[in-house]
Chain A
């Protein structure tokens, strides 16, 4: 990525469409949005690309970027690796074989389901949990927004994140290695593209945590694939030969699926929706849920089916995945792997680092600032009305101390000042 910017973000603002209302600012789980000069602005250090603001914006001013099918041109051999949630996006009659056939029609040479990699990863998660008893609970590393949420807001829980690569990464490594070998090509000529349900995955490919470079070469949004296929789904050539995943992997596309795919005597908790995830992480911080071995935590309501690039209603998509999973009799075993990964390839290459939001790097200065914040807070009405452009009175006080806002921007205080003036006139 371009090292001039500190963090890549998929979530963006279309300024012309922004009316400066406070919906996104109030909904943001990391207080990453301010309204300045009548427009929303995103604080890049705080943003975790969860997409809550896109979901809540009434004016569709927030959006997310991904690559487009054009990037396929840069590679000799193109492989699509669709997220498990793709299973819920199309009418049942298309079947998984039809979805994968449709991807071939979009211009890919080959398809490997991430659901397939998910089954292999599930077994490694179980193994890792069994072999590492000191940390409880482990938290899934699969949702990039949750990983970033922990880095920003829960730095003490970094070591609870299970240090394993995600199903997307494993699938990409396997697909690329296998194709390069089979076709006698260099791995550089093989492009692997993730069909993504969410902007956070776009970010995790462009600017990965836990590895210098992502094994994925690009991301295509689920909605772009949907647009390409939906109008002619009855003409799509079904490709049952491409279907490799069993029901375990497919269920990863919805909340609870990851947990149900992890076998063995492991006590698991599942939480979805970023604000719910925050509540559970608070409990982990308090050492209050050590009875659990593993937490599947997903930023989107309903799990990946709730990702904002998905088109189908998340409840419908969830039921559809469950329904389709039931019809799959055959269970794939990790033994039928198409390419062998060494055990250490499942581990994150780089340690995850905290990136907490602090008042000042110098603790004395930070304490001084905190004291000032507390003083200013006393003066504020505590309504959290958002009219100043900050999500809460507390964050407004913080912005004043950091020199980013002025006390006069509080309309409640200004109204009182005005009253005083009027009284003085009489």
Chain B
């Protein structure tokens, strides 16, 4: 079974490049012919995870493993980590500074939105070493 692995860099506070990792993943999935509704769920999730790193964290990576049955995405950054993961999973909870909110980010919908769109989600965070957001979206909605 063929698997494709993709690796994209994410730069903290680089709003010019923000979204390029999830966009790269999206274009690959389109070419492979993943169903549009599944791509939508993967893209919304990976975009949220990527933006979390750009806005809140430090430099990081988005890695994706694509198989015929599922897409497994891991977004990892180098800190500072989330103090309270449980709180961060609640809708509307945000620690984004005003400057970021003015740009339209930081509404506190990031992680809850990922949860809504994925089949499996694991968030691991350590202060100050960093956060790993790990999720799977299956092609046949299992």
A interface residues with partner B (beta carbon < 8 Å): 153, 155-156, 158, 282, 285-288, 354, 356-361, 363-364, 366-368, 370-371, 374, 398
Q: Give the number of chain B interface residues (Cβ < 8 Å).
A: 27
* A155 & B4 in contact (Cβ 8 Å cutoff): no
Which chain B residues numbered 70 to 126 have a C-beta less than 8 Å away from chain A? 104, 113
Please indicate the chain A residues that have their CB under 8 angstroms from the CB of B44 in the complex: 286-287
Q: How far is the CB of B31 from chain A (nearest CB, A)?
A: 5
* A358 & B2 in contact (Cβ 8 Å cutoff): no
Which chain B residues numbered 1 to 50 have a C-beta less than 8 Å away from chain A? 1-4, 19, 22-23, 26, 28, 30-34, 36-37, 39-40, 43-44, 47
* A285 & B28 in contact (Cβ 8 Å cutoff): no
* B2 & A155 in contact (Cβ 8 Å cutoff): no
Q: How far is the CB of A401 from chain B (nearest CB, A)?
A: 11
* B22 & A360 in contact (Cβ 8 Å cutoff): no
In the complex, whether B68 has a CB less than 8 A from a CB of chain A is yes
6 new A-B contacts, CB < 8 A, other than A286-B44, A287-B113, A370-B66, are A156-B39, A358-B31, A361-B33, A366-B31, A370-B2, A370-B28
* A285 & B40 in contact (Cβ 8 Å cutoff): yes
Closest to A282 in B: B23
In the complex, whether B67 has a CB less than 8 A from a CB of chain A is yes
CA distance A76 to B16 in the complex (A): 59
* A367 & B2 in contact (Cβ 8 Å cutoff): yes
Q: How far is the CB of B14 from chain A (nearest CB, A)?
A: 17
* B33 & A363 in contact (Cβ 8 Å cutoff): yes
* A286 & B4 in contact (Cβ 8 Å cutoff): no
Please indicate the chain A residues that have their CB under 8 angstroms from the CB of B67 in the complex: 367
Q: How far is the CB of B28 from chain A (nearest CB, A)?
A: 7
Q: How far is the CB of A7 from chain B (nearest CB, A)?
A: 19
* A367 & B36 in contact (Cβ 8 Å cutoff): no
Do A156 and B33 contact each other (CB < 8 Å), given the known contacts A287-B47, A370-B28?
Answer: no
Do A374 and B22 contact each other (CB < 8 Å), given the known contacts A358-B31, A360-B33, A363-B33?
Answer: no
Closest to A156 in B: B36
Q: How far is the CB of B87 from chain A (nearest CB, A)?
A: 23
* B22 & A367 in contact (Cβ 8 Å cutoff): no
Please indicate the chain B residues that have their CB under 8 angstroms from the CB of A368 in the complex: 2
B interface residues with partner A (beta carbon < 8 Å): 1-4, 19, 22-23, 26, 28, 30-34, 36-37, 39-40, 43-44, 47, 66-68, 104, 113, 139
Please indicate the chain A residues that have their CB under 8 angstroms from the CB of B32 in the complex: 358-359, 363, 366-367, 370
Please indicate the chain A residues that have their CB under 8 angstroms from the CB of B47 in the complex: 286-288
Closest to A360 in B: B33
Q: How far is the CB of A259 from chain B (nearest CB, A)?
A: 20
Please indicate the chain A residues that have their CB under 8 angstroms from the CB of B139 in the complex: 363
CA distance A285 to B117 in the complex (A): 13
CA distance A360 to B66 in the complex (A): 15
* B36 & A158 in contact (Cβ 8 Å cutoff): yes
* A358 & B30 in contact (Cβ 8 Å cutoff): yes
Please indicate the chain B residues that have their CB under 8 angstroms from the CB of A366 in the complex: 31-33
Please indicate the chain B residues that have their CB under 8 angstroms from the CB of A285 in the complex: 26, 40, 43
Please indicate the chain B residues that have their CB under 8 angstroms from the CB of A155 in the complex: 30, 36
A-B contacts, 23 of them at CB < 8 A, read A156-B36, A282-B23, A285-B43, A287-B44, A287-B113, A288-B47, A288-B104, A356-B30, A356-B33, A358-B31, A358-B32, A358-B33, A359-B32, A364-B1, A364-B2, A367-B4, A367-B66, A368-B2, A370-B4, A370-B28, A370-B31, A370-B66, A374-B4
